[in-house]
Amino acid sequence: AKSDPSAKCVRFRDRMRRLRDEHRAIKKDLERALQKNEFILYYQPIACTRTDKVVSGEALLRWQHPERGMVGPDDFIKIAEDAGLIDEIGTWVAEQVAHLQHRLHNLQYAVPLALNVSPRQLSDSSFLSLMQSLPLATGCDPSDISLEITESVILGDIPNARETLTALKHCGYQIVIDDFGTGYSNLAYLHNYPIDGIKIDRMFMEDIGTGGEIVKLILSLANALGAGVVAEGVETIEQRSWLSQNGCNRYQGYLYSRPVPEERFLSMLETQSQI
């Protein structure tokens, strides 16, 4: 039987309405989450491929939802961006990381921290003023804080991205390209941005199993740019050894540790400082 196009249209409209309602509900939920402090930062250690010591850590956002339990960022960041709530959430994240960096400094752990910055935040001038105010407000050292941004920021149409990044760089922050290799491979842009490091996306860890030619290319590119490199999504000992042998000194992934609560991250640092 031929399907009735008007019925199809109604079904589509229903689906759109349901999606919109769901979106609205999550937005309300997110606003409450901000008020009630339901967000929490986990930290994933970044380790040295040779010594296996923790050399830094990345802050990863979680939502302790009263009914749904622990919710990962992939399930709400996009909605928060669309709902215009990412600035407020991002402010909270940056403040937390700045405070922890100061605390680590006082504990004499020389371990820089990284945080994720959404493209939307870069086109918002209040983000720059926030970041400029943090060293004085929290005692943090911006040279020990990396701001991770995705390639889309550089390639895309984010207004003022380059100016903002340059200003952040001036302030002392480290600028790192996240998920490197997943955007368009127009490499010409790299020269025009103040880039301190890149993180090789975890999809390239598969490449290591088949010779790692692409990873080698990315490593030499980073080298030519004078940028530091972290390999992401390292899950096997073979991957870690390959990275170590090929001059990639830092790695992050389930092999070393999953993201852990702040106190657990601190106890990992404490244990390692005792040996």
Applying CB under 6 A, does 74 fall inside the site for ligand C2E?
yes
Applying CB under 6 A, does 56 fall inside the site for ligand C2E?
no
Q: Which span (68-76, 169-177, 210-218, 264-272) binds ligand C2E, by CB under 6 A?
A: 68-76
Judged by CB under 5 A, the residue of 144, 148, 151, 207 near Ca ion is 148
Name the residue nearer to Ca ion (CB basis): 116 or 138: 116
Judged by CB under 6 A, the residue of 179, 208, 215, 239 near ligand C2E is 179
Applying CB under 6 A, does 118 fall inside the site for ligand C2E?
yes
One-letter-per-residue 3-state SS of the chain: CCCCHHHHHHHHHHHHHHHHHHHHHHHHHHHHHHHCCCEEEEEEEEEECCCCCEEEEEEEEEEEECCCEEECHHHCHHHHHHCCCHHHHHHHHHHHHHHHHHHHHHCCCCCCEEEECCHHHHCCHHHHHHHHHHHHHHCCCHHHEEEEEEHHHHHCCCCCHHHHHHHHHHHCCEEEEEEECCCCCCHHHHHHCCCCEEEECHHHHHHHHCCCHHHHHHHHHHHHHCCEEEECCCCCHHHHHHHHHCCCCEECCCCCCCCEEHHHHHHHHHHHHHC
Query: x/- contact string, 79-118, with Ca ion (CB under 5 A)?
Result: -------------------------------------x--
Name the residue nearer to ligand C2E (CB basis): 73 or 194: 73
Q: Which span (10-18, 159-167, 181-189, 248-256) binds ligand C2E, by CB under 6 A?
A: 248-256
Which of ligand C2E, Ca ion, none does residue 233 bind (CB under 5 to 8 Å by kind)? Answer: ligand C2E
Residues in 14-43 that interact with ligand C2E by CB under 6 A? none
In sequence order, what are the beta bridge partners of 170? none
Name the residue nearer to ligand C2E (CB basis): 14 or 206: 206
Which of Ca ion, ligand C2E, none does residue 156 bind (CB under 5 to 8 Å by kind)? Answer: none
Torsion sign (Cα): 143, 160, 75, 182:
negative
Residue 16 CB, shortest distance to ligand C2E, in Å, is 26
Binding site for ligand C2E (CB under 6 A): 44, 60-61, 72-74, 77, 93, 116, 118, 148, 178-179, 202, 233-235, 252-254, 259
